[in-house]
Amino acid sequence: MSAEDLENYETDAELALYREYRDVVGLFSYVVETERRFYLANQVDLQVRSAAGEVYFEVSLADAWVWDVYRSARFVKSVRVVTFKDVNVEELAKAELDLGGSAGFAR
> Is residue 104 in some structural domain?
no
- In terms of pTM, does the model score above 0.75? yes
User: Domain residues for 46?
Assistant: 3-91
The DSSP code sequence of 22-72 is HHHGGG-SEEEE-SS-EEEEEEEEEEEEEETTEEEEEEEEEEEEEE-TT-S
Q: What rounded mean pLDDT belongs to the chain?
A: 87
> Is residue 78 in some structural domain?
yes
Dihedrals φ, ψ of 4, to 5°?
A: -65, -40
Number of domains within the chain: 1
- Quote the pLDDT of residue 22: 93
Give the single-character DSSP code of 73: -
- Quote the pLDDT of residue 27: 94
- Rounded Cα–Cα distance for residues 16 and 13 (Å): 5
> Is residue 105 in some structural domain?
no
> Is residue 97 in some structural domain?
no
- Rounded Cα–Cα distance for residues 47 and 29 (Å): 19
> Is residue 72 in some structural domain?
yes
Burial status of residue 74 (CB atoms within 10 A of its CB: 0-12, 13-18, 19 or more): middle
- Quote the pLDDT of residue 95: 66
Interstrand relation of 38-51 and 75-83 (parallel, antiparallel or unpaired): unpaired
- % pLDDT > 70, the chain: 88
pLDDT digits (tens, 9 = 90+) for 4-46: 878 888 899 899 999 999 999 999 999 999 999 999 999 999 9
> Is residue 106 in some structural domain?
no
